[in-house]
Structure 1
Amino acid sequence: HISSHSGQGGRSCTRGTSTPADNYQLARRRTLQVVVSSLLTEAGFESAEKAAVETMTEMLQSYLSEIGRSAKSYYEHTARTQPTIPDIVVTLIEMGFNVDTLPAYAKRSQRMVITAPPVTNHPVTPKALSAGQNKPHPAHIPSHLPEFPDPHTYIKTPTCREPVCDYQVLREKAASQRRDVERALTRFMAKTGETQSLFKDDTSTFPLIAARPLTIPYLNALLPSELELQQVEETDSSEQDDQTDTENLTMHMQADDSGTEKENTSILQQNSLKGEDTLIDNPYLRPVKKPKLRRKK
């Protein structure tokens, strides 16, 4: 009955404990309860209340703690770090215990032998980023000091790469980037605008950007571009002071060709009105605007 009571008390103490310090205190407390239960059995008791077992366990724990504290003060007083048997004997005498009765009590016939609790090895936590072997301590460093850290914490390990300066590699990289940009733009335009396919059945394998038909296709080739017109205007403005006769001649030519220009502008306006209805509001599908060249003064 005593063992069962002590076991139930141990189970009640295990609830809510998870840290290693709490587990150590719980194991020590349970061992003391087993010792108290065995002493009560040797004295002839068949059962005991849980409160009585807990009280005697607390008394035994206080008695052992006082023995350890007194023994520690004795061996520290003599400049030692480990206790000896004389320290324990002096402690027991100081606490009023008759040391001569210990041999006879240890050889009693009805004593119960308590088996030692099983020793569980602590799980070894693997070291993260373990590289190489740890450096041993030099001769001037004591062995009880902590070991050196892992070599990867203080060995120089460069993490940046040197820039590539090879001409062939740079040209290949630039060409691949240009090809990727062109491919991405082509796919974007194919998804946002009208497309044509090489195959009748499958329209998504090789999409091609559909060409917009013009009413007069050769008109764009005959008309000068904005860049050419700007260059002509710049040359005319630079030579205006020196070539007055040429300017008058060009004015007459413009007056003669005004009729043909009006016809061309009317045709362009009609084409632009027709194209505004079908033109998609997409910046990639707008006509290309060439940059204007500014004349250096």
Structure 2
Amino acid sequence: MVGISYDNVIYKTVKNAIIAQANAAGFVKAEGGVIDEITNIVCSYMMSISVGCKQYSELAGRSTSNSFDLISALTDNGCELIKLKEYMLKNPSVKSIKVPTITTLPSEHVIKVGEERSLPSHIPSFLPRFPNPHTYVSTEITSDFETSYAKARELQAQNKRNAENSLFRYALSTHDSYCLFRSLHETVKDKAKSELEKQEAELQAKRARYSDNVSDMFELKETTNSIVRKTIPDYYFVLKPFPVTNPTMLALCDDQEDESHSTMDDQMDESKLTDGVEISLDDMLSPDSTMSDDI
């Protein structure tokens, strides 16, 4: 019976038990919805008792539940043992229900590394055994990173190449360029245009079919240039020279700007020297000042 869930088998078994109990109580007919509702209530009640048993067993440090856990779980759910015993004595016995057999699937072989460790004497035998040793035994951590001079220079050169390639790609995307292989460029460009036209036709068909409910506002659309860049390598392209309308005027403007910057720097230096000090020419040329200097 491969593929049958345990939950389905338990549900059907509980349902058959409820039907048998209803027949024993004198009911001849019942609606299917009522039986299903009672089955759900009973399954929920049994699940609550099972969870309570598990919690009590885990609280006591055990992996399996015993009768004391069951008594505590029944008490928590409002069922007293005395009343349960009286109910079982008063009600007639119901004929046995055939419980379907479930063939368990063979468990997969677990890979084990190392030898299993036996439990120490101070740990009870009913507790679960230790896991595989390789899951918790500490191992030495080694670093494979090389710190040699050659490795550092190689990494530096690789980073430099990556930076240059990124800068070149950015320049290709923002400035005019031309391909060294014009025939290849034209062929790829024509294919890209036809592909874009095909995609646009499919998108229009989707919009017409689904009444403009196609959510393509967050999709980054392809362009002819992007498809060409993906197909043709970057080193097939060369940047065009940047045109200058009046190079002479540009050169003169640069010189004037340099001179203006130099004069401004000189003025700033002089202002720093005389900042906060009042100097008079008469004081500098007076005999007292010269005498004081000689002294």
Do both proteins adopt the same fold according to a TM-score greater than 0.5, normalized to the shorter chain? no
TM-score (norm 2): 0.35
- Choose 1 or 2 for highest CA Rg: 1
Higher relative contact order (CA 8 A, sep 6+): 2
TM-score w.r.t. the length of structure 1 is 0.35
